[in-house]
Amino acid sequence: MHEQVRLGKLCLIDGSVYHGRLYGGERQAVGEVVFTTGMSGYQETLTDPSFCSQIVVMTYPLVGNYGINPMFDQGRRSYFAGYVIGDLCDCPSNWRCESTLEAFLKEQELPCLTGVDTRSITRKIRSHGVLKGVIVAEETSDEEVQALLASPDVHDQIAQVTTPNIYTLGHRSKKYHVAVLDLGIKQNILNFLQLFDCHLTVFPAFTSAEEILRYDPDGIFLSNGPGDPKDVPEVIENIKKLMGQRPIFGICMGHQLLALANGADTYKMKFGHRGINQPVKDLRQNKIYISSQNHGFAVDEKSLAGKGITVTHISMNDGTVEGLEYRDHPSFAVQYHPEACPGPGGHEYLFQHFIDLMEGRHHA
């Protein structure tokens, strides 16, 4: 059973208020309120660094039913500002369960509001776009809520989530050496790259191009990450210096930054794509894949003209750009998470394409 029950509320900047029960951390949560549609994978979602500084609403009503196990963590901790769910499960049941979601929320000091109609919140966001919000105790005054809502927006998410130090993964006997730029990378992406005979050197997000190239990698991987890609112009400049030096594969934030480095533009979406059931069409194969996604910005297709960039994938929901190939250097990127953790499989061919590009360099 739950240890204690506190009353709380989610207050949105448009004036709407949702009342519920508070669990987890004592702090007040302030951030952009977004929703994700996954029916499972709540632990991977909670520890995905791409959600840094956001208040995340789960559309699926029951959360926590199979417990928590550290083996599924995707980041060093949860970077959520807050969490909103319909029903927090009392009694999880799974052979891998080592802890409860409630214990995880307490350990992470993460404010969680439960007992609210999450689908009502989702419909509001879909209609009006993402809204700033706060999770506070029920007795918090309107003046304090308004002061929190007026607080400055966060723009240093990548600095918060990137690794503080360079580190390596995988044995050096593996065939390919990949330099990974950690913009907020998920653990399963690192695991996937190692499955493709790669040993990895993982770099902090703001590492210079010169230092990365000093390690003489066979390819460069630009990871997922949180926030607005235009918040990190220094990373964009470093990517410009890396282009053409080695094959590059980018996903999510890496996809957006690579596009900006090539002179394209990005924009903020109305409510983004977050979930594990997003249909994407590979235009070259004329085939539709179901993908895992977590992003609130997209590449502007109109900005690609005349820049040597080919659109390779599009969203079947709204037609937005989901994949790009670069004709002037061996680089490509996708907007979604091909390692799909959580999510559907079938995207391994993208990792194989990266291997093929590195193999071509070997034989050049």
Q: Which domain holds residue 293?
A: 158-362
Q: For position 241, what pLDDT does the model report?
A: 98
Give the strand pairing for 82-84 and 112-114: parallel
pLDDT tens digits, 74-119: 999 999 999 999 999 989 999 999 999 999 999 999 999 999 999 9
Model confidence at 57: pLDDT above 90? yes
Distance of alpha carbon 263 from alpha carbon 198, whole angstroms: 30
189 and 145 share a domain? no
Q: For position 363, what pLDDT does the model report?
A: 47
CATH value at residue 147: 3.50.30.20
Active site residue 252: yes
Q: Structurally, how many domains does the chain consist of?
A: 2
Distance of alpha carbon 219 from alpha carbon 58, whole angstroms: 36
190 and 146 share a domain? no
Other beta carbons less than 10 A from residue 199's beta carbon: 19
Residue 35 lies in a domain: yes
DSSP-derived letter for residue 189 is: H
205 and 346 share a domain? yes
DSSP-derived letter for residue 23 is: E
Q: For position 5, what pLDDT does the model report?
A: 79
Q: Are 84 and 57 in contact (CB under 8 A)?
A: yes
Residue 163 lies in a domain: yes
Point out the domain boundary residue: 90, 122, 153: 153
One of 112, 252, 273, 341 is an active-site residue; which one?
Answer: 252
Query: How large is the average pLDDT for residues 236-250?
Result: 98
One of 32, 102, 322, 339 is an active-site residue; which one?
Answer: 339
26 and 141 share a domain? yes
Q: Point out which residues pair with 21 in neighbouring strands.
A: 7, 114
Q: Lay out the sheet containing 176-182: strands in order across.
A: 167-169, 198-204, 176-182, 219-222, 248-251, 331-334, 321-326, 309-315, 266-282, 287-299
Model confidence at 361: pLDDT above 80? no
Residue 262 lies in a domain: yes
210 and 306 share a domain? yes
Burial class (CB in 10 A: 0-12, 13-18, 19+), 63: buried
CATH value at residue 239: 3.40.50.880
Model confidence at 211: pLDDT above 70? yes
59 and 168 share a domain? no
pLDDT tens digits, 331-356: 999 999 998 776 677 899 999 999 99
182 and 101 share a domain? no
Q: Are 216 and 186 in contact (CB under 8 A)?
A: no
93 and 170 share a domain? no
Return the residue matching tokens 């709204």: 318
Confidence bin at 364 (pLDDT 50/70/90) = very low
Model confidence at 1: pLDDT above 80? no
104 and 191 share a domain? no
Residue 43 lies in a domain: yes
315 and 248 share a domain? yes
Higher pLDDT, 151 or 361: 151
Percentage of the chain modeled with pLDDT above 90: 92
Element holding 272 (H helix, E strand): strand 266-282
Active site residue 102: no
Residue 44 lies in a domain: yes
Distance of alpha carbon 303 from alpha carbon 71, whole angstroms: 41
28 and 174 share a domain? no
Residue 13 lies in a domain: yes
Point out the domain boundary residue: 153, 175, 195: 153
Residue 300 lies in a domain: yes
Q: What is the signed CA dihedral for 160, 162, 164, 168, rounded to 10 degrees?
A: 160
Point out the domain boundary residue: 122, 153, 184: 153
Query: How large is the average pLDDT for residues 131-154?
Result: 97
Q: With b meaning 16 or more CB within 10 Å and e meaning fewer, what string describes 1-38?
A: eeeeeeebbbbbbeeeebebbbbbbeebbbbbbbbbbb
One of 32, 337, 341, 347 is an active-site residue; which one?
Answer: 337
Residue 1 lies in a domain: no
Longest CA span, the chain: 67
Q: Give the contacts of 176 (CB within 8 A, at least 6 positions apart).
A: 196, 197, 198, 199, 218, 219, 355, 358
Model confidence at 2: pLDDT above 90? no
238 and 279 share a domain? yes
